[in-house]
Chain A
Amino acid sequence: MRTVSANSPGLLQVDWPHAAPGPTAHVVLLLLYTATALLTLVLGLDRPEGWAVWPAASLGAGIGLGAVCRCGIGMLPAVAIAAAGANLLSGIPTVEALGVAGAQAVMIFAAVVLMRRLRFTADLARFRDFLILVVFGPGLMALVSAMAAVVLHQGIAGFTLGSAARAWLAMGTGCILMAPLVLMARPHLREHHSRVGPDGYVMILVLVALMTTSQMRGLDPELTTSLSYAVLVAAAIIAMFQSARTVAIAVAVAGLAGAICASLSFGPFDHAADPDQRLLVLIKLCLTAFVALSVSAVRAEHQRLSRQGSERLNRIARSGEARAREDAETRIAGELNQPLTAIRTYAQTAARQLARELPDGDRATLRRALQGIVSGTERAARSVRPRGEGTALPQTEVESFVHQCLGEAGRELASRRIWLRKTIESGLPPVLVSEAELERVVLLALHISIELAVENGTQRSGGLQLDCRLDAGKGLVLIEFRVHADRRRSLAAERSPGRNRDWLGWIERLDRFESEGGYFSLREEGDQHVIRIGLPAALDKQ
């Protein structure tokens, strides 16, 4: 029996729409942008000097982000064109309007990439999706937009030759100070398999340079502000191209660099004149570093758990292979047993006859027995092939095996804060399933249970329940995993094709297990997901 309910969430997988948007979508987008720009101008909501910043970050960019979320990344050129048209209406120079439009397209692209990394789903089925859409998307866009505005309006003009030299000096000092830290972090990164290529190190150094420069004294205040923005933008850019762990470490290193620079009292970092401000900056930067390192630690833990999940799937696959080998060996053994049975039976019969001291007349019978032995031996010789050790009888003590599996999974469950409540009936009979096959199905059930528990936030609503008992009527040992089902989640969301349900494929491959009397079912019962494994029990019928 196999039952797989449609309500089977897996790991999240973002799937943006890829269909090419039609001309109607383009026209609607253009009209919306134009209407928004005109309305803003008529109502006088924007100061002229801020035009390139705030409308882009709020109204227009919001429309652009919505269009990309709704119609796919193919809308991005249309967004750039619409933004250029809307900005031209405000009367700013064409070059500046094109620059703003380009920046807007870039920031929407950046926001979309970041949202994808945060596993945003466009169907907004979860509160998390709203949070990502409302906070991260516009927040990041505002930063990019602000940076673009500062560069366009003030950046080049405010960066004099003298301040440039001081800035380079600050950057160089910061990099030299941080180089040992980066080198110290390398083995740590390697240990956790977070590969940081040369580009990653360059990005980290850029972030450090920007951070140290922002702590310089004597710069134009506008430029200092823009550098502060630049730190955040650089962190966002690193987030697009590097792993979250690398980003966290980069931010931590940059924060520490800033803290060290802020504590210096010489050259470009002469903060002695304003000790209070210096202390404030120090605290802020240390906190930044602490938060970044915490994020890094959490991320590392998530990666470790994810690795454990992958390893479990690999073990399931290996168990399947072991089972296939076992099947092959069993077939060979079964084939070999046929002639062996004949040989043995003939030989035993002959021995019986000899023991009875038959008269000469029965020699024909013995001759027949001997001929049978000879032909059987020849056939056995033909059947013998080089092979490994013969497989043992497929009987497995389920109780000790389940304890062993749970012991291995215990640390992972604890890490995920999933508490396990288990009820294992004592005196369970062994099951007529090989250990490899049992490992495969139990690990699969455990994997699905953990996935479901994590997806449904079971940490807060009942944990994972395991029951092992004997169904004597059906001659089965039942292993049941029960996980609380989140009723608030829509079935439509669960069925979305973007969901990663890799384990469904594994369930489909349990034919062999089921052909030998076992069953594996996944279904909803009340407010619980129930995974039930039925194992044929070796019951003594005598």
Chain B
Amino acid sequence: MAGGGMIDPYESTVYLVDDDRDVREAIAFLLEAEGIAVQAFGEPGQMLKTLDAHARGCLLLDVRMPGMDGLALHQALKKRGVAMPAVFISGHGDIPMAVRAVNAGALDFIEKPFDDNVLLERIARAFELDARRIRTEAEMIEIRRRLDQLTPRERDVLRGIVDGRLNKQIADDLDISVRTVELHRGRVLDKLEATNAADVVRMVLPLVSPDAS
């Protein structure tokens, strides 16, 4: 493991795997010189043992390695809940495999030997994506927490709001008075800390859409 030292688990870190020691150390050297935290591994297995779903930053994976290639490693990490963006670095003959990696969800691939500006730009972009991902995840957790505070009847009313139904229609559906619906609607907005129905839909929609994690 190169470029080690104390790694802040909440700091964005580049997790690098390359079986070639020179390349590994050179990249780690570049990233450290730029003030980017890096954790480098010589074998995919080491990374699999180390990383978990809480890791932040990005993956920098060599495509062709003995034993497990970069693509398989990426898939294995995704199965373990490691959702960080992955950037592949590839030797000359690995382009088709790298493109398939991109098709399978990797952020990008860079052909060796690469320009340091390109590498740093990709890493910055990966960090940005990861930060956005973490923010989104945090928002989702918060929304779920707020949703958990709703009573069953308030959830029914919320479902009606999200479906775009009027108070009278919701009242007919639930067989309650319009006044009661208005009361529940106000409580839903309060508990979800929303200002209006559009705000509620914006918050809830990511949780009910098929792409929601």
Task: Give the interface of A toward B (CB within 8 A).
Answer: 327, 330-331, 333-335, 337-346, 348-349, 352-353, 365, 368-369, 372, 375-376, 379, 390-391, 393-394, 432-433, 475, 516-517, 536, 538-539, 541
CB < 8 Å neighbour of B22 from A339, A348, A394:
A339
Alpha-carbon separation in the docked complex, A345 to B103 (Å) = 27
Residues from chain A with Cβ under 8 Å of B93 in the complex: 327, 330-331, 333-334
Alpha-carbon separation in the docked complex, A45 to B75 (Å) = 87
Alpha-carbon separation in the docked complex, A61 to B112 (Å) = 77
Residues from chain A with Cβ under 8 Å of B91 in the complex: 333-335, 337-338
Residues from chain B with Cβ under 8 Å of A343 in the complex: 26, 113
Tell me which residues from 74 to 109 in chain B have a Cβ below 8 Å from any Cβ of chain A. Answer: 89, 91-97, 99-100, 102-103
12 A-B pairs (CB sep. < 8 Å): A330-B92, A338-B22, A338-B23, A340-B113, A344-B116, A348-B30, A352-B116, A365-B33, A372-B22, A517-B100, A536-B96, A541-B103
Q: How far is the CB of B107 from chain A (nearest CB, A)?
A: 9
CB-based contact A541/B102 at 8 Å? yes
Confirm or deny: B172 has a beta carbon within 8 angstroms of a beta carbon on chain A. no
User: Chain B interface: which size bin?
Assistant: 20 to 34
Residues from chain A with Cβ under 8 Å of B89 in the complex: 341
Confirm or deny: B190 has a beta carbon within 8 angstroms of a beta carbon on chain A. no
Alpha-carbon separation in the docked complex, A539 to B99 (Å) = 8
Alpha-carbon separation in the docked complex, A338 to B25 (Å) = 12
CB < 8 Å neighbour of A345 from B27, B64, B99, B100:
B27
Given A334-B64, A337-B92, 14 other A-B residues pairs in contact with their CB atoms under 8 A: A330-B93, A338-B22, A339-B22, A340-B112, A341-B22, A341-B112, A342-B23, A344-B116, A345-B26, A349-B33, A353-B33, A516-B96, A517-B100, A538-B99
CB < 8 Å neighbour of A432 from B23, B99, B113, B116:
B99
Tell me which residues from 13 to 65 in chain B have a Cβ below 8 Å from any Cβ of chain A. Answer: 20, 22-23, 25-27, 29-30, 33-34, 64
The 7 A-B pairs at the shortest CB distance, nearest first, are namely A330-B93, A334-B91, A342-B22, A345-B26, A432-B96, A342-B26, A348-B116
Residues from chain A with Cβ under 8 Å of B20 in the complex: 338, 341-342
Q: Mark B167-200, 1 if CB is under 8 A from A, else 0.
A: 0000000000000000000000000000000000
Q: How far is the CB of A331 from chain B (nearest CB, A)?
A: 7
Q: How far is the CB of A507 from chain B (nearest CB, A)?
A: 20
Residues from chain B with Cβ under 8 Å of A330 in the complex: 92-93
Highest count of chain B CB atoms <10 Å: which of A338, A349, A394:
A338
CB-based contact A372/B26 at 8 Å? yes
CB < 8 Å neighbour of B103 from A372, A376, A475:
A475
Highest count of chain B CB atoms <10 Å: which of A390, A432, A538:
A432
Alpha-carbon separation in the docked complex, A501 to B29 (Å) = 58
Highest count of chain A CB atoms <10 Å: which of B93, B94, B114:
B93
Task: Give the interface of B toward A (CB within 8 A).
Answer: 20, 22-23, 25-27, 29-30, 33-34, 64, 89, 91-97, 99-100, 102-103, 112-116
CB-based contact A337/B29 at 8 Å? no
Alpha-carbon separation in the docked complex, A517 to B71 (Å) = 13
Alpha-carbon separation in the docked complex, A542 to B25 (Å) = 30
CB-based contact B30/A337 at 8 Å? no
Q: A345-B26, A372-B25 are in contact. Are A337 and B113 (CB under 8 A)?
A: yes
Alpha-carbon separation in the docked complex, A437 to B20 (Å) = 29
CB < 8 Å neighbour of A342 from B25, B94, B99, B103:
B25
CB-based contact A536/B33 at 8 Å? no
CB-based contact A341/B29 at 8 Å? no
Q: How far is the CB of A142 from chain B (nearest CB, A)?
A: 65
Residues from chain A with Cβ under 8 Å of B92 in the complex: 330, 333-334, 337, 390-391
Residues from chain A with Cβ under 8 Å of B22 in the complex: 338-339, 341-342, 372, 375-376, 379
Residues from chain A with Cβ under 8 Å of B115 in the complex: 348
Residues from chain B with Cβ under 8 Å of A390 in the complex: 92
Alpha-carbon separation in the docked complex, A541 to B96 (Å) = 14
Q: How far is the CB of B74 from chain A (nearest CB, A)?
A: 15
Residues from chain B with Cβ under 8 Å of A349 in the complex: 26, 29-30, 33, 116
Alpha-carbon separation in the docked complex, A541 to B108 (Å) = 9
CB-based contact A517/B112 at 8 Å? no
Alpha-carbon separation in the docked complex, A390 to B23 (Å) = 21
Highest count of chain B CB atoms <10 Å: which of A331, A337, A352, A539:
A337
CB-based contact A341/B33 at 8 Å? no
CB-based contact B100/A346 at 8 Å? no
For B91, give the chain A residue with the smallest CB separation.
A334
Alpha-carbon separation in the docked complex, A450 to B129 (Å) = 52
For B19, give the chain A residue with the smallest CB separation.
A338
CB-based contact A475/B26 at 8 Å? no
CB-based contact A345/B30 at 8 Å? yes
Residues from chain A with Cβ under 8 Å of B33 in the complex: 349, 352-353, 365
Q: A338-B112, A345-B116 are in contact. Are A432 and B26 (CB under 8 A)?
A: no
CB-based contact A393/B95 at 8 Å? yes
Alpha-carbon separation in the docked complex, A393 to B99 (Å) = 12
Q: How far is the CB of B24 from chain A (nearest CB, A)?
A: 9
Residues from chain B with Cβ under 8 Å of A475 in the complex: 100, 103
CB-based contact A432/B95 at 8 Å? yes
Residues from chain B with Cβ under 8 Å of A375 in the complex: 22
Q: How far is the CB of A311 from chain B (nearest CB, A)?
A: 29
Alpha-carbon separation in the docked complex, A372 to B30 (Å) = 12
CB-based contact A345/B29 at 8 Å? yes
CB-based contact B114/A369 at 8 Å? no
Q: How far is the CB of A379 from chain B (nearest CB, A)?
A: 7
For A475, give the chain B residue with the smallest CB separation.
B103
For B24, give the chain A residue with the smallest CB separation.
A342
Residues from chain B with Cβ under 8 Å of A327 in the complex: 93
Alpha-carbon separation in the docked complex, A340 to B94 (Å) = 16
Residues from chain B with Cβ under 8 Å of A339 in the complex: 22
CB-based contact B113/A344 at 8 Å? yes
